[in-house]
A = this chain, B = another copy of it.
């Protein structure tokens, strides 16, 4: 039998911790004097109580460490349970959302997706804006820790190639997960503060700078304005572009940089490929918008840069409605979102290292077709890659595409158009945020969708955030039988 108590214990603690973080928006509302603070007092009380009681109830079953199956369940249930509590302020607060909308907004926050159902964000009390930022910020650091500590050990979707690495380069000195997590947290906090300062200098208010810094470093994409970055000063677009890129790089490289080996950063094959792709796409898109929309103006380059970086890193801010840039841009943004950033960062979607390994797999196949009896030793980043890793990555890609197809069909059943369904499925599963078309495109939001569509998208966000195979594993009968 699978003992759920150790899982419940940790989840209870995390729920209670989420409740404690609600004191920040409480304080923020108090300072702003908008009279909205009791919402967060109530939400915090309920959340801390629920989390604390769960932990207490499970405390008698706590053991040293978790089994692999318990780790799986924990990972999924954390992201499944926290949104129920994260939703409370949206439901009882000034935004007055339904349960479905509140859950969607919280799931979208904690998975760093950034798809919103809120309109008139400008007019919301400070506390709610801060709460959106905090959820994405927590979701961001949470997923880095999961990606660094759990996924490599769970051998999910090729993440095992980072196992040896994380523990080799840091491991001899820092063998323990908590040590990794704390070092990375320092980087995470440092980047957030640097980003906030830069936003502030670029012309944002201190409050906006802080919140947008949190949702930038989390590649989350929640903004304090319905129009996202469209009406913010041009300088902030450049600041955002720089920090979105920084947030999409593997955080372990920053740890190494601080530890005195900065060359680790530019010797990383994944980082080099990411920069090559993002540069190419920015150049192509700049040319396209110059020819079609902005004839050779700085504005054209800036919007191409900002939106390409935003979608490729899975942040999801918008500085312009690129649905108006013609069919090539629309189509390109769909695929850019499916590329994604680097593993070990807050970025999501399929990710650059997987494409590198997928192309290696295809090359291996083509060579086998040439020379059926030849031996090939594929390499990644200078090191040999096992067949096992290549298979794992291919299986991830197949699962991602098939699951995306199923969610697309599901969304179309709720009545959404083909373009909303397919881009919504991609935007949720890839934790990108905006989709295509008028409804959920860069100028729209998710409010108009039906409740069933919102639940489908919430499920897709969770499945995508946990690299698809984690959830699929839990859904197999064998998982529960073993």
Contacts and interface: CB of A to CB of B under 8 A. Distances in A.
Contacts of A338: 405
Given A68-B370, A369-B473, A418-B327, A398 B394 contact: yes
Contact of A365 (B330, B391, B415, B417): B391
A482 interface: yes
A197 interface: no
A380 interface: no
A479 B417 CA distance: 44
Contact of A328 (B361, B392, B413, B469): B413
A408 B365 contact: no
A362 B155 contact: no
Contact of A332 (B392, B399, B412, B482): B412
A398 to B, nearest CB: 5
A273 to B, nearest CB: 15
A84 B110 CA distance: 57
A179 interface: no
A326 B413 CA distance: 9
Contact of A473 (B154, B366, B394, B402): B366
Copies in the assembly, this chain: 2
Given A327-B412, A327-B418, A370-B482, A391 B361 contact: yes
Interface residues of A, number: 60
A118 interface: no
Contact of A412 (B155, B331, B362, B473): B331
Interface string A449-482: 0000000000000000000010011001011001
A366 B331 contact: no
Interface of A: 68-69, 154-156, 326-328, 330-332, 334-335, 338, 358, 361-362, 364-372, 387-388, 390-392, 394-399, 401-402, 405, 408-409, 411-413, 415-419, 421-422, 436, 469, 472-473, 476, 478-479, 482
13 contacts: A155-B368, A155-B369, A327-B416, A362-B398, A362-B399, A365-B396, A367-B478, A369-B469, A394-B394, A394-B398, A397-B398, A398-B398, A422-B422
